[in-house]
Amino acid sequence: MKDLWNLKIVILVLMGSSAFGQIELTIDGSKSKVKIQPTMYGIFFEDINFAADGGLYAELVKNRSFEFPEPKMGWIQPNTSMHSLNRDSGILRVIRFSDAGGNHNFARISIHNADNYFLINEGYRGMGLKKGDSYRLSFQAGKRGSISGVKFQLLNDNDKVIAESLVALGSSEWQTYKTKLMANETAENARLRISFKGTGEVDLDMVSLFPEDTWRGRENGLRKDLVELLDSLDPGFLRFPGGCVAEGRTLEKRYQWKKTIGPVEEREILVNRWNTEFMHKFTPDYFQSFGLGYYEYFQLAEDLGAEPLPIISVGIACQFNTGEMVPMEELEPYVQDAMDLIEFANGPVYSKWGKIRKNMGHPQPFNLKFMGIGNEQWGPEYIERFDEFEKVIKKKHPEITIVSSSGPYPDGEHFDFAWKELKERNAELIDEHYYQSPQWFKENADRYDRYDRNGPKVFAGEYAAHPKADDGPRENNWEAALAEAAFMTGMERNADVVHMTAYAPLMAHIDAWQWAPDLIWFNNLESYGTANYQVQKLFSTTRGTDLVSVSNNGKPLTGQDQLYASAVKDIETGEIIVKLVNTSDTPKTVKLNFSGTKLASEGIVRTLQNDNLKAINSFDNPENIVPVEKQINLNEDEKIIEITPYSVNTLTVKIK
Ligand code: AHR
């Protein structure tokens, strides 16, 4: 009898799955369940892994203004070690001339024997130069004695000169000089060599070298290939400047936006909190020059057509570090910073901060709509400070949507506490972070099915599947990307609750990273989008305008038979787009029943697929995992789609 029952159970389980048949999906394209937020898929930018200085910010000279705490860091004077006689040829001293403002130091170079003295700047893990490309060099200098000029040379990886320019020095007063250098060879690890004509003293500051070919050709510009990768994602928002860098290890070292605007030479450098965070990834030369500062972030968001989303300090330093908290009675300047930021972004040109924006070249407002209060803070101290920010901001700016934090984890004590408190306050958007295993992502594809439809909206502000397989770029394997895609169908299906999402972190320099996996990897010359990037791009560029229902026997498809699905309609293009993810190693046949809409008899399927879960994109093979497009016929009576193993698919069909 017992055996018979067991047999019955096995049969019922098998019938419940699709082992005896195909999955049948019903897609009702006639009704919009909810509008998909234009911010549904965005990007999270943080200066981690040399993402800003040494990465997106195209400056090639490290410590250009001799401001690092170790002020000669990045600068080498060959033959001038403590024990070398050649130091008699010349010597560089760093002079501190002011404690005020952001520019405190300059270099004073005494040259006794110009033939035997030169300086090298090593760049950020070298400098990437491209054959035939032109580079803008600028510097500030004053001179004494018979010094008549400064020679700038770019050296390739073998110290061969591949570009040079001699600049005449005319004055003992500080002056800004500019020249251009054209590289006659490509070099990944080039360096800048500076030598002198004559003897005497030269004062040098702000030695800067940029490719002329930056994004949109801007002088204080961004690396074009990296922005192009961001642009291709068609991001709905740009979150900046982090991440933990927004918080700082101490309050003194927090990110202060006001110190990152105005003339670049006046922006005071700050240690990057990733500098010594991980002993196994020690990066003592990691500082923030703020050449990429708040103005440039707003400008980038505008270029990308993305909503700017600044995250500002709530008066609590990173709770994984000191967790230092400003006393409540001293919170006011922090709140004022938030208020001033709104004025900087949106205020009229006659307002104090609006005028600074105008003077920097942008009289039009940046149209700021969102602001994050704190990064991944937790506990009652966070809520207490958040309340104060919210009260003051909303009073004057009810139009700003405020993002709050649920802490660093997707569940647990901090998370539950934050959600309870924030829900009671009718918080608008709650930021959730999850760095979890691929398995977790697959198992949690139904996470948001269980959320209160009338509660706060979700900003999945930082997430990534960590396969913990290998270190570095190998963490961006297909297993992780596939699991993220499965999870993303769940976010999309719940677009009434989930309003913003972003993979994190965004980018990493192959020779200077602290955290992996990352969406984009780059070296000094090249960059590529990972498999995870391709997943983000596929979802983002097919986000549609309206969510439509897709069900399997009346239920969402959230891993039954290892299949996952979501569907949207795009009323602008007149299309239905179905997303289907197969995380299994077997092909699947899915029957599609479209109700409520008349559709074209063919559709376009875009597929990301790899049989090897360890497969990655790489510098050698950046297109190993990219979408393959094909046209399929959709029979009038029976619409069938074949889904390959380990694949992410979008089916786009025109509405008739
Ligand atoms: O994305 C890397 C880090 O992860 C972020 O700085 C922080 O917010 C999170 O802990």
Beta strand 149-155 with 161-168 is antiparallel
| Residues in contact with 299: Cβ distance below 8 Å, sequence separation at least 6, in sequence order | 362
Q: How far is the CA of 432 from the centre of ligand 1 (A)?
A: 11
Q: Whose CA is nearest to atom 3 of ligand 1?
A: 243
Catalytic residue, chosen from 67, 122, 247, 376, is 376
Q: What is the atom index within ligand 1 of the atom nearest the CA of 435?
A: 4
**Which amino acid belongs to residue 460?**
A
| Residues in contact with 420: Cβ distance below 8 Å, sequence separation at least 6, in sequence order | none
Q: What is the pLDDT of residue 280?
A: 85
The edge-to-edge listing of strands for the beta sheet with 520-522 is 507-509, 520-522, 527-529
Q: CA 417 to CA 407: how far, in whole Å?
A: 10
Q: CA 106 to CA 98: how far, in whole Å?
A: 10
If one residue of 47, 403, 515 were mutated to test the ligand 1 pocket, choosing by the most ligand atoms within 8 A of its CB, it would be 515
CA 376 and chain centroid, separation: 16
Q: What is the atom index within ligand 1 of the atom nearest the CA of 375?
A: 8
Helix (H) or strand (E) holding 534: helix 531-540
If one residue of 43, 47, 48, 519 were mutated to test the ligand 1 pocket, choosing by the most ligand atoms within 8 A of its CB, it would be 48
**Which amino acid belongs to residue 196?**
F
Q: CA 318, 322, 324: angle at the middle one, nearest 5?
A: 80
The series of mean pLDDT values per 10 residues for the chain, 656 residues long, is 40 37 88 97 98 98 98 87 65 94 95 94 98 98 96 97 97 96 98 97 98 98 98 98 96 98 97 92 95 98 98 98 98 98 98 98 98 98 98 98 98 98 98 98 98 98 90 95 98 98 98 97 98 98 98 95 98 97 97 92 96 98 98 86 97 96
Task: Round to the nearest angstrom and report the end-to-end CA distance of the chain.
Answer: 56
Q: What is the atom index within ligand 1 of the atom nearest the CA of 244?
A: 6
Helix (H) or strand (E) holding 294: helix 294-304
The pTM assigned to this predicted structure is: 0.95
CA 143 and chain centroid, separation: 42
Catalytic residue check, 376? yes
Q: Whose CA is nearest to atom 9 of ligand 1?
A: 243
If one residue of 378, 432, 462, 532 were mutated to test the ligand 1 pocket, choosing by the most ligand atoms within 8 A of its CB, it would be 462
Task: Give per-residue burial for 332-352: e unless 16+ CB within 10 Å, then b.
Answer: eebbebbbbbbbbbbbeeeee
CB 213 within 8 A of CB 280: no
Q: What is the pLDDT of residue 440?
A: 98
- Report the sign of the C-alpha dihedral through residues 302, 303, 307, 312, in that order: negative
**Which amino acid belongs to residue 130?**
K
Q: CA 222 to CA 132: how far, in whole Å?
A: 19
- Give the residues surrounding ligand 1 with Cβ less than 6 Å away: 46, 48, 242-244, 375-376, 408, 433, 462, 504-505, 515
Q: How far is the CA of 504 from the centre of ligand 1 (A)?
A: 8
DSSP 328-373: GGG-HHHHHHHHHHHHHHHS-TTSHHHHHHHHTT--S-----EEEE
Q: How far is the CA of 121 from the centre of ligand 1 (A)?
A: 31
Q: How far is the CA of 244 from the centre of ligand 1 (A)?
A: 6
Name residue, tokens 């389980």: 13
CB 255 within 8 A of CB 245: yes
Q: How far is the CA of 235 from the centre of ligand 1 (A)?
A: 20
Cβ-defined contacts of 108-111 (< 8 Å, 24+): 108/201, 108/202, 108/203, 108/204, 109/196, 109/201, 109/202, 109/203, 109/204, 110/200, 110/201, 111/145, 111/147, 111/196, 111/198, 111/199, 111/200, 111/201, 111/202
Q: What is the pLDDT of residue 637?
A: 72
Q: What radius of gyration, in Å, describes the C-alpha atoms of the chain?
A: 28
| 561: region left, alpha or beta (phi > 0 left; psi from -120 to 50 alpha) | left
Query: In 360-499, where does DSSP find H-type helix?
Result: 380-396, 413-424, 438-443, 478-493
Q: What is the pLDDT of residue 15?
A: 37
Q: How far is the CA of 129 from the centre of ligand 1 (A)?
A: 31
Q: Whose CA is nearest to atom 5 of ligand 1?
A: 243
Q: What is the atom index within ligand 1 of the atom nearest the CA of 242?
A: 6
Q: Whose CA is nearest to atom 2 of ligand 1?
A: 505
